[in-house]
Amino acid sequence: MTDRLHAAQLILFDLDGTLTDPKVGITKSVAYALREFGIETKDPDALCGFIGPPLKASFAHFYGMDDADADRAVAKYREYFRRKGIFENAVYPGIPELLGRLEAAGKRLMVATSKPTVFARTILEHFGLATYFCEIVGSELDGTRADKGEVIACALASSGFGPEQAVMVGDRSYDIIGAAQNRLPAVGVLYGYGSREELEAAGAFGLANTVEELERLLL
């Protein structure tokens, strides 16, 4: 298993729950949006399901919103997120060092996230991580290319590498499934927001409990 991962020349990283911990900013932004609909949430942990999946689909899934209401919820979410939530975030310990060692080993690194590209770039630049990545690929603000499989396909096409030369790293089933749709293996990280059961059921090629374990799988 590790030989296949060690041989990968291109490594695609999810952002939320993989490179950074966005819990505070995302849950506060969701709570802000829900207040528009008269919904009060006192427990931020109850909103952690919004970390990872496409935002509009999450409002529909968790709160039964129709298309129009989900669009309105996304707009309210972004009001808070743009102003404050985007920086209520933290880089996981060891991530900058991991990225530096992967880069030094000659690996090409890209970000593949369902978060809009403009927000992903702002976050990575804020934390000094953008320079490690040859490209940052996310969704569009209008909601297109939010599906993780589409994001990964776009990143692969842009990279010039084939799926046999690449690996995806992420913390949710969407990352694992999106990678499989594009015929590349995925490593699930257990320090994020997906459980072992979720990632194994999705077909993760390997699992890493810590950033240190992730490094051993990739190098």
Question: Would you state the pLDDT for residue 216?
Answer: 97
Question: Would you state the pLDDT for residue 16?
Answer: 97
Residue in 3, 14, 66, 67 annotated catalytic:
14
* Cβ proximity of 166 and 8 under 8 Å: yes
What are 167's two structure tokens? 């690996």
191 confidence band (pLDDT: 50, 70, 90): very high
Beta-ladder partners of 11? 109, 167
Question: Would you state the pLDDT for residue 52?
Answer: 87
Q: Is 3 assigned a catalytic role? A: no
Question: Would you state the pLDDT for residue 146?
Answer: 86
Query: φ and ψ at 40, to 5 degrees?
Result: -105, 135
Helix extents (H) in the chain: 2-6, 23-35, 55-63, 67-83, 95-104, 117-126, 148-159, 173-181, 196-202, 211-218
Structural domains present in the chain: 2-22+89-218 (3.40.50.1000), 23-87 (1.10.150.240)
Find, among 82, 83, 148, the residue nearest to 119 by Cα. Answer: 82
pLDDT, tens digit, for every residue of 103-127? 999 999 999 999 999 999 999 999 9
Is the pLDDT score of 215 beyond 80? yes
Helices 55-63 and 67-83, packing angle to 10 deg: 120
C-alpha dihedral sign at 109, 115, 118, 124 = negative
The distance in angstroms from the start CA to the end CA of the chain is 12
Cβ neighbours for 42, distance < 8 A, ≥ 6 positions apart: none
Percent of the chain whose predicted confidence (pLDDT) is above 90: 95
Cβ neighbours for 218, distance < 8 A, ≥ 6 positions apart: 5, 6, 8, 11, 98, 102, 107, 167, 169, 187
Question: Would you state the pLDDT for residue 1?
Answer: 66
The structure's pTM equals 0.94
Q: What is the mean pLDDT of the chain?
A: 96
What are 5's two structure tokens? 């991962």
Q: What is the mean pLDDT of residues 30-48?
A: 96
2 confidence band (pLDDT: 50, 70, 90): confident
